[in-house]
């Protein structure tokens, strides 16, 4: 990959890339339903190869599937590449332009704070609270099993991750798992689908006319921002009434930085990071675990193996008793990782160069839109043996699979480079903790035909539903 520096080199142009047939003026816009965006792009990649382009009216978007190239671009952020610019503007409009979308000088100080707050030592110290929240999820599922109720797992898992994120990062546990209605998660759930629609819209119509879905978003944003500002106010009161030598959690750290003399951080930026963490914590981990259930429910032998493994660690306890014991639950994280290989929640990464660059002999002017598809590489036999087979053992490092193809660099669910996901350690702990609790205490089966569950693009890639029936196991 080179910066363009010589007019004597002959490059291919973006217009030279293959493109699916579209319509005059509209290009391929009519072929890109927002909820199926990743599926359409993957189909075009199979037909046209990589890279290719598609057109949104007059704007070309290049599409790539090379994971090494994606890793290179991730390593060169934020100085040479940035996220798709419309992400920042749309998130700015809804008051959530935090660490995820921040660019340039605004990124580094926020990154340092959040990485520290989501570090392994902080998560270890937080484990008693994390265990208590997991026990509440266990009790919720125990009641559902006793009543023979169908559990919409995605919704319950989102409640769980909202409770965890709020307690860890903000010092407040909203206890949404103990409520049936009126929880903040109901408002958060409306935001991601609308973000997807707006980021990929050819024209910002919502700035001129509000459709019913835009008005619904406006109402939810009012509630979410009220929730965030009230949380900030309560944190300031605790800092005043119960002073501490050092911040007790991320929100206190951000408020301390905000209130420092000559600080460049504003209340709006603090609020944006609070909302960013609520959204990220609520959506990605919850959907990753939910997708896992599709494979576990279909495999009784795997369920038994997971039951035996979890009971060997948990004993008679419903939840993993201590942080150290999590290390013995590698199989559970392997199951979630393998699910992510086949059902990537982060199905598409979007970037644009900040300067003219040349990738694979193609000249990309600054600002060229770039989509990287994650799944084609993870189901490529050049990267993983038997790529379409669900095989969690490929992620267990016991030396028995030394001759199989396994290129973990092709797996980019948590990103790479300076902007690798700061919540990856917390996600790993939640995956081990929740799935081991579920398998130790319940057997599961799908409440619908698995073939009716669709992949939906809603900023992340989510299941259309994940209804499950739980049966209590004898311990």
CB-CB contact of 442 with 471 (8 Å): yes
3-state helix, strand, coil in the chain (%, to 5): 55, 15, 35
73, 199, 218, 464 from 202: Cα distances, Å: 25, 9, 21, 25
C-alpha 126 chain-centroid distance: 22
- For residue 444, the surrounding DSSP H or E stretch is strand 442-446
Computed from CA positions of residues 318, 319, 322, 327, in that sequence, does the dihedral angle turn out positive or negative? positive
For 101, phi and psi rounded to 5 degrees?
Answer: -110, -5
In this structure, what are the phi and psi dihedrals at residue 23, rounded to the nearest 5 degrees? -110, 155
CB 457 within 8 A of CB 35: yes
Residue list for the binding site: 421
| Predicted pLDDT of residue 97 | 67
pLDDT of the residue at 411: 92
Neighbouring-strand partners of residue 369: 61
The pTM for the full model equals 0.88
Instruction: Report all structural domains of the chain as residue ranges with CATH numbers, in order of start.
Output: 2-472 (1.10.630.10)
Contact 315, 430 (CB under 8 A): no
For the chain, 475 residues long, the average pLDDT of each consecutive 10-residue run is 56 94 93 93 97 94 95 87 81 73 62 73 89 96 96 94 88 86 77 81 87 91 90 92 86 85 82 81 85 96 96 95 95 96 94 92 94 96 95 81 79 78 86 97 97 92 96 85
Q: What is the pLDDT of residue 108?
A: 63
pLDDT recorded at residue 78: 78
**Residue-level pLDDT at 200:** 76
Q: Say how many C-beta atoms besides its own lie within 10 A of residue 459's C-beta.
A: 22
pLDDT, position 191: 84
Q: Is the peptide bond before 377 cis (omega within 30 degrees of 0)?
A: no
Annotated binding site for heme: 421
Dist. CA 277–CA 251, nearest whole Å? 11
Sheet holding 362-364, edge to edge: 2-3, 357-359, 362-364
The pLDDT of residue 275 is 83
Amino acid 402: pLDDT: 57
Q: Which pLDDT value is given to residue 270?
A: 85
Q: Give the per-residue pLDDT at 215.
A: 93
């Amino acid at each position: 990959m080179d910066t363009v520096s010589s007019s004597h080199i002959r490059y291919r142009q973006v217009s030279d890339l293959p493109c699916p047939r579209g319509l005059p003026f509209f290009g391929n816009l009519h072929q890109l339903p927002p909820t199926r965006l990743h599926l359409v792009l993957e189909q075009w990649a199979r037909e046209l190869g990589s890279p290719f382009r598609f057109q949104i009216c007059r704007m070309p978007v290049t599409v790539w599937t090379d994971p090494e190239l994606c890793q290179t671009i991730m390593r060169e952020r934020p100085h040479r590449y940035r996220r798709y610019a419309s992400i920042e503007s749309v998130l700015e409009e809804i008051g959530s332009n935090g660490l995820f979308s921040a660019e340039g000088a605004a990124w580094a100080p926020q990154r340092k704070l959040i990485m520290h707050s989501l570090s392994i030592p902080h998560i270890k110290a937080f484990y008693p609270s994390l265990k208590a929240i997991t026990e509440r999820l266990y009790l919720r599922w125990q009641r559902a099993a006793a009543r023979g109720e169908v559990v919409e797992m995605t919704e319950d898992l989102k409640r769980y991750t909202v409770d965890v994120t709020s307690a860890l990062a903000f010092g407040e546990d909203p206890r949404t798992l103990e409520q049936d209605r009126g929880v903040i998660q109901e408002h958060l759930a409306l935001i991601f689908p609308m973000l997807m629609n707006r980021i990929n819209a050819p024209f910002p119509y919502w700035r001129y006319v509000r459709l019913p879905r835009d008005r619904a978003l406006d109402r939810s944003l009012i509630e979410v921002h009220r929730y965030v500002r009230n949380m900030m106010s309560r944190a300031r009161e605790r800092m005043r009434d119960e002073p501490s030598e050092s911040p007790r959690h991320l929100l206190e750290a951000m408020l301390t930085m905000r209130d420092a003399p000559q600080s460049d951080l504003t209340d709006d930026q603090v609020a944006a990071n609070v909302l960013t963490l609520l959204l990220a914590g609520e959506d990605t981990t919850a959907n990753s675990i939910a997708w896992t259930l599709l494979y576990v429910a279909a495999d009784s032998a795997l369920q038994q193996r997971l039951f035996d493994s979890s009971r060997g660690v948990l004993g008679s306890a419903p939840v993993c008793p201590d942080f150290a014991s999590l290390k013995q639950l590698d199989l559970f994280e392997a199951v979630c990782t393998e699910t992510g290989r086949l059902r990537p929640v982060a199905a598409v990464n979007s970037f644009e160069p900040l300067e003219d660059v040349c990738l694979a002999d193609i000249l990309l002017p600054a600002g060229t839109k770039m989509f990287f598809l994650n799944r084609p590489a993870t189901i490529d036999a050049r990267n993983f043996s038997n790529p379409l087979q669900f095989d969690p053992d490929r992620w267990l490092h016991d030396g028995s699979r030394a001759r199989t193809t396994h290129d973990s660099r092709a797996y980019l669910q948590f990103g790479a480079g300076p902007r690798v996901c700061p919540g990856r350690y917390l996600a790993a702990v939640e995956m081990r903790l929740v799935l081991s609790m579920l398998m130790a205490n319940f057997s599961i089966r799908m409440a619908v035909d698995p073939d009716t569950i669709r992949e939906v693009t809603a900023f992340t890639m989510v299941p259309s539903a994940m209804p499950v029936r739980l049966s209590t196991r004898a311990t």
